[in-house]
Amino acid sequence: MSTAYKLGATCVTFNASGQVLIARRRSPDRWELPGGLVDPGESLSGAAARETLEETRVGVRVRGLVGLYQHPNRRILAAVFVATAVEGSPHPTEETREVRWADVADALSVLHPLYRPRLEDALAAENTVAMRVHDGSTMLSTLAVRPARP
Amino acid sequence: MSTAYKLGATCVTFNASGQVLIARRRSPDRWELPGGLVDPGESLSGAAARETLEETRVGVRVRGLVGLYQHPNRRILAAVFVATAVEGSPHPTEETREVRWADVADALSVLHPLYRPRLEDALAAENTVAMRVHDGSTMLSTLAVRPARP
């Protein structure tokens, strides 16, 4: 009697100044953390990086897992990752009308209520926890336990 | 182009002596950490506690999330929780032919290779990360960041 979920990934990206990458979606019009649904065969952390690049033009290196959000009614499970910006700069896209680096307090004040706790969770995390992709016998990739901030 | 996953929950339960609860499944015949699939409407941590009770007769309090395992080919996502035993004692069940408390080194040596890394991840975690259940607007339950071991 199990049930089928869609998997999502949200990315909390920091730059070298400790600012957070936020994006104002075109529809619905609201400030969010970048993210979206996992494609077939794709890893959760891969989806986090891909969606962030697609929505902000910023390339990131995902550091690790800092939270998990379950929405039983809509059957969506979203993993929250912390990431470091490695290339590009914020730029609007087809999906986003505005993208920018924000100081943490600023980000907390403008983010939609659905996303604010995800940033709070990323800030509260001292360490990431293990995130492994496997095929039943072999580990395909691993994000190990490490400090949540560089 | 998203894809549907089954959600699983694995429970790493410690007793007051720091031993780990392990179960020898009837079929396949192998030592595992208790766990199973999430029922419709059920939280991941609720599934971890329910499956542990069903498979071992030990009641647990789930402390928090310490790992996530993604199996893209079979489309299963398993969350790994740490828990504390609160009542009952290990007892075989319909699903398990043997259930016992094991010292950590003992558990690491007998666990099936699919489960050993989950225990290793639980031992490596210093803190849990946030695990939230919500309905899109309201938080229904939260497991906050806390030390991974009592």
In the predicted structure, residue B119 carries a pLDDT above the cut 70: yes
- Residues of chain B found within 8 Å of residue A137, distances taken between Cβ atoms: 113-114
Chain A within 8 Å of B97 (Cβ-Cβ)?
no
Q: Using the beta-carbon criterion (under 8 Å), do B129 and A67 form an inter-chain contact?
A: yes
pTM summary value: 0.95
The DSSP code for B114 is T
- At A25, is the secondary structure helix, strand, or coil? strand
Output the pLDDT for position B1: 60
Q: What DSSP string describes B2-50?
A: --EEEEEEEEEEE-TTS-EEEEEETTTTEEE-SEEEPPTT--HHHHHHH
Q: For residue B59, give both structure tokens.
A: 């009641």
- Tell me which of A69 and A149 has the higher pLDDT: A69
The DSSP code for A34 is S
pLDDT band, very low/low/confident/very high, at B15 (cuts 50, 70, 90): very high
ipTM of the complex: 0.94
In the predicted structure, residue A9 carries a pLDDT above the cut 90: yes
- The backbone torsions φ and ψ at residue B103, rounded to the nearest 5 degrees and listed phi first, read -60, 155
Q: What DSSP string describes A39-102?
A: PTT--HHHHHHHHHHHHHS-EEEEEEEEEEEEETTTTEEEEEEEEEEEE------SSEEEEEEE
pLDDT mean across residues, chain A: 95
Residue A141 CA to residue A125 CA, distance in Å, equals: 22
Q: Using the beta-carbon criterion (under 8 Å), do A6 and B3 form an inter-chain contact?
A: yes
Output the pLDDT for position A150: 78
Least confident of A1-15, A58-72, B26-40: A1-15
pLDDT mean across residues, chain B: 95
Say if CB A58 and CB A89 are below 8 A apart.
yes
Smallest CA–CA separation between B123 and chain A, in Å? 10
In chain B the domains, ranked by start, together with CATH numbers, are 6-143 (3.90.79.10)
Task: Read off the pLDDT of each residue in B52-69 and give the average, rounded to a whole number.
Answer: 97
Output the pLDDT for position A149: 85
> Which residue in B43, B68, B140 is closest to A131 by CB distance?
B68
Say if CB B11 and CB B62 are below 8 A apart.
yes
Q: Using the beta-carbon criterion (under 8 Å), do B129 and A65 form an inter-chain contact?
A: yes
> Which residue in B68, B125, B133 is closest to A72 by CB distance?
B133
In the predicted structure, residue B150 carries a pLDDT above the cut 90: no
Chain B within 8 Å of A136 (Cβ-Cβ)?
yes
